[in-house]
């Protein structure tokens, strides 16, 4: 049989990985000795850090090793090059943001275990409406909301079968109607390819767009928070970030929806027979909310409110005087408290069933947590060795450029990188460099770091760019050309929106 598209993709990935295994070490060594021979004013530790950073970037981009395995390189290499001790190199792997992400994942897994996320998604779609254009909008709203709290991948996996069932229903109904009119229609294939492609891509893109709304929605957001706190002593609160992220999500979703239904994939039909009945039936099949769902919903709402209002509450003087410990309750502490409650509250005490057990919690994406740690360890070494200062000094000629030019260039470069490799790897590699650049030319680091973190999640063009893109591409309803065309539109919109946000809401809320 002819090789499948998947076989070709695997073959290309295999070749790319082997290229990375050979080229990565060679380029790293070339950087180390090239900086010395070139007369760069760098210490041996800084040259070693640069070489290790280049090696990690190449291995991450080519996936020559599993991303998590590459993330362990700092523990082995930084003590050898003399920039960090083993204790200093491993400390970032247990920074507080790791536990914020861990607690958020436990909460998300609890929602999945008791099917609360499915109930929320179906309810949103029912409320928004089931006409083709509204249905696409409903799927986008539901997907975006869920992806603020659970992983983009889990959100897409949840929404995909619901979307596929809608497409199948439309095809069946249209085929029946055509035959009743005596028309000849093919027995196989779908009859609304534009609507199908639009609905599939709406799910994938909304998962990425929605995730920027909260700190725990996507790894680059949390990496930014951890990096600026460790490097510059700047704390970004959960509610503070939502004031930046939610407006971007709302505006971006609205524009993406209009583009989908009016420009890129206008639906071929104006109405979907019985679609509301199908969604309503799936909702009815869930039955009434059980004890597990109610507990998860209560803890979820309480945790979200605690994250949002932590800073305003801790700023109340008389309350801080009476409850001095309240100032010590941070976002990671709230996440872990929520996780502990989920482990402690029984759903069925007699059977020993709790809201979440370790078997479920063990599905945590440990690889993402390791990737976080590796990126933060690399950032620590870059700063400790003085490499960030040297990098900044190399870009002094850009000091005369208008700030907006640097911001737009940063966003474009980050989106290009994130379409080629993991968004977390992009953030881990690129943010420390941008921090050094900002300090070197004398601008506030957040001016470049915030748009870069947001842009890292805006990978819409290629199937390999994000798991949601790959999942919907695998459905068979989306062609590569359709994804590239739609993705280019959305990436251009992302560049414009993030630029505007950087100079408006971002500056007002984050104080740069």
pLDDT in tens, 183-204: 766 666 666 889 999 999 999 9
237 shares a domain with 140: yes
298 shares a domain with 211: no
pLDDT for 317 equals 67
261 shares a domain with 134: yes
Is residue 147 one of the residues assigned to a domain? yes
Name every residue whose Cβ is closer than 8 Å to that of residue 41 and which is 6 or more positions away in sequence. 390
Is residue 335 one of the residues assigned to a domain? yes
Give me the number of domains the chain comprises: 2
301 shares a domain with 196: no
Of 288, 309, 341, which residue is a domain's last?
288
152 shares a domain with 210: yes
Question: By C-alpha distance, which of 315, 138, 301, 245 is closest to 497?
Answer: 245
334 shares a domain with 311: yes
318 shares a domain with 180: no
264 shares a domain with 193: yes
Mean pLDDT of 133-154: 92
For residue range 454-505, what is the model confidence (pLDDT) as tens digits? 999 999 998 878 889 988 988 888 998 999 999 999 999 999 999 999 999 9
Instruction: Report the chain's mean pLDDT, rounded to a whole number.
Output: 88
247 shares a domain with 331: no
Name every residue whose Cβ is closer than 8 Å to that of residue 438 and which is 6 or more positions away in sequence. 392, 444, 445, 447, 448, 449
Is residue 216 one of the residues assigned to a domain? yes
221 shares a domain with 145: yes
Grade residue 281 by pLDDT with cuts at 50, 70 and 90. Answer: confident
For residue range 342-360, what is the model confidence (pLDDT) as tens digits? 999 999 999 999 999 999 9
Is residue 5 one of the residues assigned to a domain? no
For residue range 423-433, what is the model confidence (pLDDT) as tens digits? 888 898 889 98
Q: Would the pLDDT of 71 be above 90? A: yes
Mean pLDDT of 368-377: 89
Of 345, 364, 383, which residue is a domain's last?
364
Rounded alpha-carbon distances, angstroms, from residue 284 to 169, 200, 279, 287, 503: 18, 24, 9, 5, 46
Is residue 282 one of the residues assigned to a domain? yes
Is residue 387 one of the residues assigned to a domain? no
pLDDT for 63 equals 85
306 shares a domain with 201: no
Of 348, 364, 380, which residue is a domain's last?
364
User: What crossing angle do the helices spanning 116-128 and 152-180 adopt, rounded to 10°?
Assistant: 50
pLDDT for 445 equals 94
Domain with 103, as residue range(s), is 98-288
Is residue 178 one of the residues assigned to a domain? yes
Is residue 171 one of the residues assigned to a domain? yes
299 shares a domain with 154: no
């Amino acid at each position: 049989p002819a090789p499948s598209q998947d076989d070709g993709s695997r073959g290309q990935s295999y070749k790319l990985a082997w290229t990375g295994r050979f080229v990565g070490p060679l380029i790293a060594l070339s950087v180390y000795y090239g900086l010395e021979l070139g007369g760069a004013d760098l210490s041996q530790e800084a040259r070693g850090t640069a070489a290790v950073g280049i090696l990690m970037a190449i291995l991450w981009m080519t996936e020559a090793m599993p991303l998590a395995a590459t993330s362990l390189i700092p523990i082995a290499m930084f003590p050898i090059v003399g920039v960090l001790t083993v204790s200093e190199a491993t400390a970032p792997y247990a920074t507080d943001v790791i536990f914020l992400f861990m607690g958020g994942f436990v909460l998300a897994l609890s929602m999945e275990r008791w099917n609360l996320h499915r109930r929320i998604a179906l309810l949103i779609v029912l409320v928004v409406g089931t006409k083709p254009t509204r249905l696409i909008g409903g799927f986008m709203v539901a997907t975006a909301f869920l992806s603020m709290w659970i992983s983009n991948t889990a959100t897409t996996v949840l929404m995909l079968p619901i979307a596929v069932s809608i497409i199948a229903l439309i095809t069946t109904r249209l085929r029946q109607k055509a035959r009743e009119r005596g028309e000849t229609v093919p027995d196989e294939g779908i009859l609304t390819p534009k609507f199908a492609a639009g609905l599939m891509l709406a799910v994938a893109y909304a998962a990425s767009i929605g995730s920027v709304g909260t700190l725990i929605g996507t790894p680059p957001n949390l990496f930014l928070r951890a990096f600026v706190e460790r490097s510059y002593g700047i704390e970004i609160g959960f509610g503070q970030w939502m004031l930046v992220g939610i407006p971007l999500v709302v505006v971006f979703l609205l524009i993406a929806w209009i583009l989908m239904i009016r420009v890129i994939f206008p639906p071929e039909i104006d109405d979907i027979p019985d679609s509301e009945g199908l969604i309503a039936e799936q909702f009815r099949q869930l039955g009434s909310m059980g004890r597990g769902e109610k507990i998860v919903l209560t803890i979820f709402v309480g945790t979200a409110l605690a994250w949002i209002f932590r800073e305003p509450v801790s700023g109340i003087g008389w309350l801080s005087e009476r409850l001095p410990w309240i100032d010590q309750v941070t976002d990671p502490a709230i996440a872990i408290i929520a996780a502990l409650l989920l482990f402690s509250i029984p759903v069925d005490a007699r059977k020993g069933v709790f809201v979440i057990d370790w078997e479920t919690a063990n599905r945590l994406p440990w690889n993402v947590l390791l990737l976080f740690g590796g990126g933060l360890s690399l950032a620590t070494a870059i700063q400790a060795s003085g490499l960030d200062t040297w990098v900044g000094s190399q870009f002094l000629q850009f000091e005369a450029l208008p700030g907006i030019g640097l911001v737009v260039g940063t966003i474009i470069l980050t989106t290009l990188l994130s379409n080629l490799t993991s968004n977390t790897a992009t953030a881990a590699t690129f943010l420390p460099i941008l921090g050094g650049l900002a300090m070197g030319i004398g601008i506030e680091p957040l001016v470049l770091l915030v748009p870069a973190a947001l842009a890292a999640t805006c990978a819409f063009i290629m199937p390999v760019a994000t798991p949601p893109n790959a999942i919907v591409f695998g459905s068979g309803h989306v062609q590569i050309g359709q994804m590239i065309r739609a993705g280019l539109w959305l990436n251009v919109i992302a560049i414009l929106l993030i630029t505007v946000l950087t100079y408006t809401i971002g500056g007002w809320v984050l104080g740069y």
